[in-house]
Amino acid sequence: MAEKQRHSWVAIRDSIREMILNSTYGPGDKLPRDEEFAARFGCARSTVHRAMRDLAQSGIVERRRKGGTTVRRDPVTRATLNIPITRLEVEQKGSVYRYQLIRQSMQPSPPAIMANFGLHEARPMLRVEALHLADSRPYIFEDRWICVETVPEIASVDLSRESANEWLVRNRPYSKCDLRLYARTGTSTDSEILQSEVGDALFVMERTTWISDAPITSLCAVARPGYQLFTQG
C-alpha cells in the first residue's frame, strides 16, 4: 500500500510542485518530459500525465502540444469550489437547522437564466424558491433554476422535505462552475424574507453549474446580514 501511495499521481504532483516552489524549476523553465519524470519516479507515464494535467489546471504550469511543459511566469491562483450543504453548514455552527420550501414551478428558462447557461433557446426548468433557517431565524434565501433535461430525477424529489441544495450536491456532481460573489443593499422584499432592515448590506452568491456542456442549475442565494463565507485551499 505504501508503494502504491508513493507512486500515485497525487504524490507525483506534489513532488513536482515542491520542485517548483523550492526553485529547482523557476518561472519560464521547461520541465522534463513526462517520460523522463516517469523514469525518475519509477512510475507509469500516464501517472505523470495525470499529475501534470492537475498542475496545469491549477495554473502552475503551462502545457503545449509538441511544445512541452513550462513553469508559468505568472502563476494563476485558482480556488477549488466545494459547494456546501447548507444544513451541515448551519449544524456545524451549533445551530438548529430548518428548511422551508416557499414555492416551486415548471417554467421555460427566462432570458437571464439562458444567459447564465449560455443557451440560445429556452429549456424547461424547475424554479425552486426556498429558505434555510438557523435557530428559527432566516439564514439563506435561494432562488434556483434546475434544468430538467439534465436532471430529470428532480421531478420525483419531495422538495418540501429535502432541499434542492442538498439533493444536487449529493446526486449531481458538476464539471464546470461559474461563481459570482458580491454585496448589495437590501430591499423591502429582502426585509420580509430575511427579517432584515431595508438598506442592510446583504451577501449574494450567484452560482451556475454544468456537467460537460449540459446545464444543471443556476442559483441566486441571498444571505442574512452578517453572513460570512469561509473556505480553505
Over residues 27-71, the pLDDT tens digits come to 889 999 999 999 999 999 999 999 998 888 878 899 988 788 999
Q: What is the 3-state secondary structure (H, E, C) of the chain?
A: CHHHHHCCHHHHHHHHHHHHHCCCCCCCCECCCHHHHHHHHCCCHHHHHHHHHHHHHCCCEEEECCCEEEECCCCCCCCCCCCCCHHHHHHHCCCCEEEEEEEEEEEECCHHHHHHHCCCCCCEEEEEEEEEEECCEEEEEEEEEEECCCCHHHHHCCCCCCCHHHHHHHHCCCCEEEEEEEEEECCHHHHHHHCCCCCCEEEEEEEEEEECCEEEEEEEEEECCCCCCCCCC
Query: Which pLDDT belongs to residue 26?
Result: 83
125-165 tens-digit pLDDT: 999 999 999 999 999 999 999 999 999 999 999 999 999 99
- Classify domain 2-71 by CATH architecture: Orthogonal Bundle (1.10)
Query: Which pLDDT belongs to residue 3?
Result: 36
Query: Which pLDDT belongs to residue 39?
Result: 93
User: 86-223 falls under which CATH superfamily?
Assistant: Chorismate lyase-like (3.40.1410.10)
Residue 229 pLDDT > 80, yes or no?
no
Q: What does pLDDT average to over the chain?
A: 89
- pLDDT confidence bin for 2, thresholds 50/70/90: very low
Least confident of 72-81, 149-158, 211-220: 72-81
Mean pLDDT of 169-193: 90
Per-range mean pLDDT, top range of 91-100, 164-173, 174-183 = 91-100
Residue 4 pLDDT > 60, yes or no?
no
All structural domains of the chain with their residue ranges = 2-71, 86-223
